[in-house]
Structure 1
Amino acid sequence: MALRPRDLASRMAGRRKSDDGYLRETFTLPRDKARTRARDYFARYPKAAYMSSVESWRELPGGDIEFTMRRLPSAD
């Protein structure tokens, strides 16, 4: 049975621990808007304080970018 990338992504998402303390947001946007959204996210939740990062990303067939941002719930 051949696996599609979507199948692999779903399987990997199922393995992710939901109790690891991070908040995640997934976005699907055109490339330029995705870039702007990620920059705004890092401006709002600085990497040094919230341990913010782009957890995963992929380019969809239509050219849009799907990406997941993760951060800690507070900077304390």
Structure 2
Amino acid sequence: MPVPQGYGAQGPSCMDRIKLGFMMGFSVGLATGVVFGGIQAFRFGARGRELIQTVGKSSLQGGGTFGTFMAIGSGIRC
């Protein structure tokens, strides 16, 4: 009986690796953005809504930037 094709142990596709690289980079960038953005906001005396906006903006920027670079690096390695 022949072995059916397509049921072997295949690794993730190149697009899956790029998405995983982006998500890992976004998570790391988000965490560092919260830490460094919070420190910077406290240093400048931000409180309340201004603090949340500053930390949110810096964390999303850090996550997007680092996620993009990790996705590019993962794409190069495919």
The alignment's TM-score, normalised by the length of structure 1, stands at: 0.28
- When Rg is computed on C-alpha atoms for both structures, the one with the higher figure is 2
The alignment's TM-score, normalised by the length of structure 2, stands at: 0.27
Higher helix share: 2
Of structures 1 and 2, the one with the larger relative CO (CA 8 A, separation 6+) is: 2
